[in-house]
Structure formats: C-alpha cells, structure tokens
Amino acid sequence: MKLYASNTSPFVRKVRVLIWEAGLQDRVQQLLVTGSPLDPVSLPIAENPLGKIPTLVLEGGRAIHDSRVICHYLASLAWPEAYPEGPRLWRTMTLEALADGILEAALLIVYENRLRPAGQRSSPWIAGQWAKVARALDALEKDWAGDLAQPVCMGQLALGVALGYLDFRHSERDWRAGHPQLADWYTKIARRPALLATVPFDARNLPGDHSPGRTLLQA
C-alpha cells in the first residue's frame, strides 16, 4: 500500500500512529507530498479529488481517504481493538471525531494566517475557530476522564495527535492552562513509542532542505 503523507500533517500523523501501533510499517510505503488549498503542488488530486492527505492507495490500486476511513481500514487488517466492539465503539468514534474537530479548527487558523494576505485575515473568524478548540478542551477535561483511562484505542491516539498539533502550531495559546487533568494525561500518552516516532517536524528546521514552497505550504 502507498500512503500520501507529510511530516507536519496531523491527519497523516493519526494514520502513522495507527500503522506503528498495528505493526504495519512494512506494508505501507510513504510518499511525501506538499500543497495547500491554494496550490495542490504534489497533493494526490488524481487519487483523491479533494486533494488532501492522508490518502491511501490499496494493493489493488484503489484509493481511500480520509484519516478516519484509513485508520479504520488499517485497524481491520491488523489491530481490530483500535475500534473496540460494543458500547465503547461509539465513545471511541466520538472521541476521534472530537480530536479531528480540534484539528480542523486548528488547521483552519494556520491556513488563515499563512495563506491569506494580511489585509484579508479575519480576527473574529480565527477567534471562532479557537473557541471550538477551547470548548472541546473544556469538555475533555470535564467529561472524558473515564474514557481516557480505558485501554488505548483510536480515540485516545487521535486526541494525543490533536494535542500534539496544538503544541506544534499554537503553543502560544497554552492549551494546558485550565486543563490540568488533560495535560497530565497527555504527558503520559505522548511517551508511547508510536507518538514519539511520529512527532511532526518542519522541513525548514532541517539543514540542507531548501525545496521551494515546502515550508510555506506545509500544514
């Protein structure tokens, strides 16, 4: 299988974490691409008309997307417990959806700040996106501790990726303030080998990488 990926995309990171946890490293070849809604550059538009990553090309040649579909598919191959059966399934999938919602809002803020000219940026719109993140963090602190303490499955892994993305792109907002239980939980999950092995990094921090457009467009 072939995964269209980048080293900064948090949605790709979800899939990378699942691959690691499921022991599928040898079955998935990763192809690094770049692009944005303004310019798809090398994003897989032929395989995914939305031009988004992650996109996974299966062994027969058909492609599947998005991260939730890919994670579910890969889990079905090698780690079914990632989506536990019974009533926990709906909590797991809701937690993953909540984590994805945090990511969507956080990514939209990044795009707004990077891709729009300064005069066209909307502060109220950015504030509205961050309000979604803040409400989700409050709900996680208040209502989700029991679920976070369950055996690790895709819900907690997706949340670990989402909180890691807030550190990566929005560290100045200090998501830990007012969320001590969540911060404590994150410290522990961030030590899992799958999360350690997939920490995002910017090409601009790598000596010798001067590919044009790369730093500007990465999520």
Ligand X SMILES: N[C@@H](CCC(=O)N[C@@H](CS)C(=O)NCC(=O)O)C(=O)O
**Cα–Cα distance for residue pair 123/138, rounded to 1 Å:** 22
Q: Which two tokens stand for residue 166?
A: 């807030």
Shortest distance in whole angstroms from residue 207 CB to ligand X:
24
**Cα–Cα distance for residue pair 7/30, rounded to 1 Å:** 10
Per-residue b or e along 179-201, where b marks 16 or more CB atoms closer than 10 Å to that residue's CB: beebbebbeebeebebbeebebe
Smaller CB distance to ligand X: residue 194 or 217?
217
Closest by Cα among 163, 112, 109, 161 to 136? 163
Closest by Cα among 107, 98, 108 to 157? 98
Residue nearest to ligand X (CB): 66
Smaller CB distance to ligand X: residue 21 or 96?
96
Smaller CB distance to ligand X: residue 62 or 207?
62
Shortest distance in whole angstroms from residue 200 CB to ligand X:
10
Smaller CB distance to ligand X: residue 100 or 179?
100
Smaller CB distance to ligand X: residue 9 or 179?
9
Shortest distance in whole angstroms from residue 53 CB to ligand X:
4
Shortest distance in whole angstroms from residue 218 CB to ligand X:
8
Tally of CB atoms within 10 A around 148: 19
Shortest distance in whole angstroms from residue 162 CB to ligand X:
11
Per-residue b or e along 41-62, where b marks 16 or more CB atoms closer than 10 Å to that residue's CB: eebbeebbeebbbbbbbeeeee
Shortest distance in whole angstroms from residue 126 CB to ligand X:
17
Smaller CB distance to ligand X: residue 98 or 179?
98
- Residues near ligand X, by CB under 6 A: 9-11, 35-37, 43, 51-54, 66-68, 100, 107, 219
Cα 200 from chain centroid (whole Å): 10
